[in-house]
């Protein structure tokens, strides 16, 4: 029997210009990195969106609260005023006995029912606990 086995000499450090093969990262490292990037993106988006942040003191109030809601009258009913905004949105507003109509013509003093469809208005109100806007002042600009 012949012995073909020959001991190998220990190899020293690789030559200076040789490229070492990089080990592939484990799957859990890649998964963790992707989850971290996703989580940072979601958190960053929420923080950046000032409308979703609580107690935003620098945010302007929504239209109708502090700043007038501008639009045209669509319908006037018992306790409801529907206004179409310039961007095409239809906003339903509550009216009450304390709702004041500000107009220069005496014929409009009859109340909100005197407002016809297409009349331009500027509305200011107060938010209720359920989020609906109750109108305090309806101004008809001339």
| 40 φ/ψ angles, rounded to the nearest 5 degrees | -65, -35
Percentage of the chain with pLDDT > 70? 71
Note the helical H segments in the chain: 27-48
pLDDT at 137: 85
Residues 94-120: tens digit of each pLDDT: 888 888 887 766 544 457 777 888 888
Given pLDDT bands bounded at 50, 70 and 90, which one contains residue 91?
A: confident
pTM: 0.52
Signed CA dihedral, 38, 43, 47, 50: sign only: positive
Write out the two tokens for 63.
């239209």
Name the residue with higher pLDDT: 118 or 66: 118
Say if residues 122 and 69 touch (Cβ distance below 8 Å). Answer: yes
What is the reported pLDDT for 26?
81
């Amino acid at each position: 029997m012949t012995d073909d086995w020959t001991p190998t000499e220990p190899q020293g450090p690789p030559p200076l210009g040789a490229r070492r093969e990089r080990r592939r990262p484990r799957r859990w490292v890649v998964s963790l990195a992707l989850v971290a990037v996703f989580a940072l993106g979601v958190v960053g988006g929420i923080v950046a969106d000032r409308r979703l942040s609580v107690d935003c003191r620098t945010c302007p109030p929504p239209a109708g609260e502090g700043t007038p809601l501008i639009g045209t009258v669509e319908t006037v009913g018992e306790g409801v005023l529907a206004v179409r905004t310039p961007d095409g949105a239809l906003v339903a507003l509550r009216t009450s006995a304390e709702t004041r109509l500000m107009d220069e013509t005496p014929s409009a003093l009859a109340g909100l029912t005197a407002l016809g469809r297409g009349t331009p208005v500027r509305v200011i109100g107060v938010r209720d606990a359920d989020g609906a806007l109750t109108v305090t002042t309806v101004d008809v600009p001339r």
